[in-house]
Structure 1
Amino acid sequence: MIKKKSIKNKDDAGWEEKVVQVKRVTKVVKGGKKLSFRAVIIVGNEKGQIGVGVGKASDVIGAVKKGVNDAKKHMILIPLTKSYSIPHQIYGVSGAAKIILKPSATGSGVIAGGSTRTVLELAGIKNILAKQLGSNNTLNNARAVLDALKNLRTFQYTADKRDITLDYLYK
C-alpha cells in the first residue's frame, strides 16, 4: 500500500473543488417533515491527491462547506505514471457500485462518465479507461474509484515490499 503522506496546508491555492450532487432530503419527525440538503463534493489538486466528502445541512452552502471539510479529511495520494495514467488495471468496490480502471495510451483522454470522470480528472489522471458496474449511485461510484486508486501499487513499492531489486521484478 502507498504510504499516506500528511497533506500540509490544505487551504493553499491549487486545490479544486467540484460539487457532484446536491440532494434535498427529508426526515419525518413528530411535528412533520424536516428538510435538509446533502452535497457530494470532490476535492483534488490534479497532482495525485484526491478526496471525496459528504456534507449535510439545512442550507446548500452549509452542506457544501461540510462536504469540503469531509473531503479534505479523507484525502489520499495516488501514484501517477509519466503519461498521467495509472500503473496497472484495478477494481474498486463501494456498496453495490463496482468500477474497473484500465491504463490507456497517451492522448486517449479520460474515458469515463458521471462522478467517476470528475474524480479521475481532479486526481490529475489524463489517460484512462473506466467502466461503472452495478449501482448508478453517484456517491458510491465516487467512493469505488477512490477505493481502486487507494489500492494502486508502483513497481518500486512492490520490489521494496518483497525485498528484491527492481531489475529482478522485471525478469
Structure 2
Amino acid sequence: MADEQEIIAVDTEAAEPVTLAAAEAVPAPEAAPQRGSRSRGGRDQRGGRRQSTRAPRAKSEFDQKMITIRRVARTVAGGRRFSFSVALIIGNKKGRVGVGLGKAGDTTLAIDKAVRDAKKHMITVNLTKDNSIAHDVSAKYTASRVVLMPASGRGLVAGSSVRPVLELAGITNTVAKIHSGSKNGLNNARAAIEALKMLKA
C-alpha cells in the first residue's frame, strides 16, 4: 500500500540511501543574518567591554622640571624636517639629581629620551644636616660659570635654571650666583651640576 511504502531519498555525494525520516531529523542550517538587521546586545555576547591588559604605569620616584622645549628644523634635500628638543632636570629631592637632553619628532618621545639621558648622567650630592652644602664651590661649563655658597637660615637663593637643579637635589639654605652673561638655561644647569660634583663630604 502507498501508506506503508518507504520513500527513499538518495544522497548523490555519498551514494547511500537515506530514509525520509532520517532526512527530516537532520537540523536545518541557520539562516544567514540579513544585512541591516543587527542584533542588540552584541557586546554582551562578545564579553562586554574590552578589558585593558596594559599594567598601570608606576609613579616615578623622581620629580622633573622642564628647562626648555624647542621646535627645531633641519634642512634636507626634500625640504625641512621638524623635530623637538627637550631639556629637563630630574631629582628625588634627597641628594640625587640629573640633567638630560632629548630630541625626537614627537614631544612625548623627546621627553622620554631626555628623562633617560638625565638618569644616565645622574649624580649623588653630599648634603649637610640642614640640607645645605658643606663649603663654597664654583664650576664652569662652556660660557656659564656658577658659584654655590652655603647660607644657613636664608633658604634657597638662586635664579635661572640653577634653582630647579638645587631644588630637585633637595638643597636649601644655599646662595647661587651665575658669573657669566650666558642666558642658556641648559648650560647654566650643567654648570650647577659640575659644581655639585665638586662638593666634598
Do Structure 1 and Structure 2 share a fold, with TM-score over 0.5?
A: yes
The answer on 1:77 being equivalent to 2:124 is: yes
Structure ranking higher in helix proportion: 1
Q: Distance in 2 between matches of 1:152 and 1:93?
A: 14
Identity %: 46
For 1:118, which of 131, 156, 164 is the aligned residue? 164
Q: Distance in 2 between matches of 1:128 and 1:84?
A: 9
For 1:39, which of 86, 105, 108 is the aligned residue? 86
Give, as a single letter, the amino acid of the residue that structure 2 aligns with 1:83: D
Give the count of matched residue pairs. 143
Give, as a single letter, the amino acid of the residue that structure 2 aligns with 1:23: R
Q: Distance in 2 between matches of 1:33 and 1:69?
A: 27
Equivalent position SS for 1:136: coil
Partner of 2:3: none
Give, as a single letter, the amino acid of the residue that structure 2 aligns with 1:33: R
- Gap runs ≥5 in structure 1: 1-10, 155-171
Q: CA deviation at 1:15?
A: 1.3
- Gap runs ≥5 in structure 2: 1-57
Bigger Rg, structure 1 or 2: 2
Give, as a single letter, the amino acid of the residue that structure 1 aligns with 2:178: Q
Aligned-residue Cα RMSD (Å) equals 1.2
Q: TM-score, normalised by structure 2?
A: 0.69
Q: CA deviation at 1:12?
A: 6.9
**Where does structure 1 differ by over 4 angstroms across 4 or more consecutive aligned residues?**
none
The answer on 1:14 being equivalent to 2:61 is: yes
Q: Distance in 1 between matches of 2:132 and 2:116?
A: 27
Which structure has more relative contact order (CA 8 Å, sep 6+)? It is 1
Cα deviation digits, residues 15-41 of structure 1 (max 9, x gap)? 111112101111111111111111011
